[in-house]
A and B are shown apart, each in its own frame.
Chain A
Amino acid sequence: MNVSDVRDEVVPALSELTASLIDHHDPDTVLRLVTAACTRLLGASATGVLLSDPRGGMSVVSASDERSRFVELLQTQADEGPCVDCIRDGVAVTTTDLAAEDRWPTFRPAALAAGCRAVHAAPMRLAGQVLGGLNLLYLEPVTLESWQQRLAQVLADLAVLGLSQETGPARVHRLTERTLTTLNDRVQLAHAVGLVAGTLDVGVDVARTLILDHAREAGRSVRDVARALTNGEIEPAAVR
């Protein structure tokens, strides 16, 4: 990258982002600008943002296209992949060529089949906590130089600032969804308790304890186990 690239590409992209941040734009705008910068400055063919959910698990909050949404979802479903490692360990994780990779046995073949060849995941940190990760996806093998990795981290940091600034309508919208999710989670857990109680012929208190114990032993969130029980992924008898 030479001086004219810095002048023509990097400065406009970053100034647009910081201007958006100080203007209190909504997180969607900031994420959109981060995505555009990943493509323009770092040659990513797609980007995605995963946030870790305080109740357990991760969720896709942003994806630049269907392919990246799929690759992100794949990581949350398989519970493995560069971004999952990145969020867990709080450090950047890179794979220069998935075809030559031996990590992530579930994620790797599925991502390759979706046309994804290389991934760089930069952690999104705030006040010592890892909130999520910014994923850069490439259709060809790629090796990011250290300045490129640092630029990816700058963009991830800006994305964090965008998300933590959330105000107004976006905040209300998110709280609304959270309220409904919490309500639906309670229903799902009650259904799961009933299914276990009915299957094993035990009382609902015993069933609830079995589910909580199962979640703890399996290292999964209660919410996750309740969902698996109600959609048939786990047999109710299996929690005994």
Chain B
Amino acid sequence: MDGQRRDRLERMIAERAAGSEWPPALCTVCVQVLPGVDAAALVLRGDARAQEMVSASDGWAAVIEELQYTLGEGPAVEAWRGGGPVLVGDVSAEQGRWPGFADAAAEEGLAAMFAFPLQVGGIRLGTLDLYRRRPGGLSAEAVTDAALLADLATLALLENELAADEDKLRMEVSYQDVHMATGVLAAKLRISLEDAFARLRAHAFAERRSVLEVSRDVLDQRISLDRLAD
């Protein structure tokens, strides 16, 4: 049964894309086959900082994804840490669990979210994140399909590692600017990379901006570093 569904999902992705074009196709298939799901994003995660968005079905998904990165919390962060799917039918009811994310996500129009870890044995590579504008859970069938899609994404990401450089995936959003700004800040303020990253995040949170925007300001010297000193 799962084998047939898996084949069907794999065919759907293959029909929409060839070779390294599969990530956007996979996100599109998520939205098409999973009832109620409005958007999807595929994210590679090494640790709390090392993160790259492989693809997203639309700009809204990318915004929610970035929100989690800025805040360092949310269903995807938890799915990646804990290793199991995190299914949240009503994000606004989770203020206790994710105080920053619950409010900010609701403001962006997110009502429900489902995050599935990309998992190989005990190692987790990232997450497949699904978003809904209306509250409500996923059906059991949809959970199975989503888990199968997460598995297909995992295997495709691993194959990508074997591809020649020019055939490798281009990440849709990489946080390279954040990492470079972290380095600049650490050097200028003579603090550790960890502290520098924490300050970028805290500043972004306080200003209600994304950590990527703040980082670009740091790199382009549009922001006085004194404002990040504490």
Contacts and interface: CB of A to CB of B under 8 A. Distances in A.
A31 interface: no
Given A172-B158, A195-B187, A179 B44 contact: yes
Interface in B133-189: 157-162, 174, 176, 179-188
Contact of B185 (A173, A193, A198): A198
Interface of B: 44, 46-47, 49-50, 52, 120-121, 123, 125, 157-162, 174, 176, 179-188, 193, 219
Interface in A187-213: 187, 190-199, 204
A190 B157 contact: no
Q: Give chain A's interface residue range (CB within 8 Å of chain B).
A: 20 to 34
A183 B44 contact: yes
A197 B183 contact: yes
B120 A176 contact: yes
Given A193-B183, A194-B183, 6 more contacts: A172-B120, A173-B123, A179-B161, A190-B182, A192-B183, A194-B179
B64 to A, nearest CB: 21
Contact of B179 (A175, A178, A190, A198): A190
A22 interface: no
A172 B123 CA distance: 11
A187 B181 contact: no
B51 to A, nearest CB: 8
A184 B50 contact: yes
Given A184-B50, A195-B186, A190 B176 contact: yes
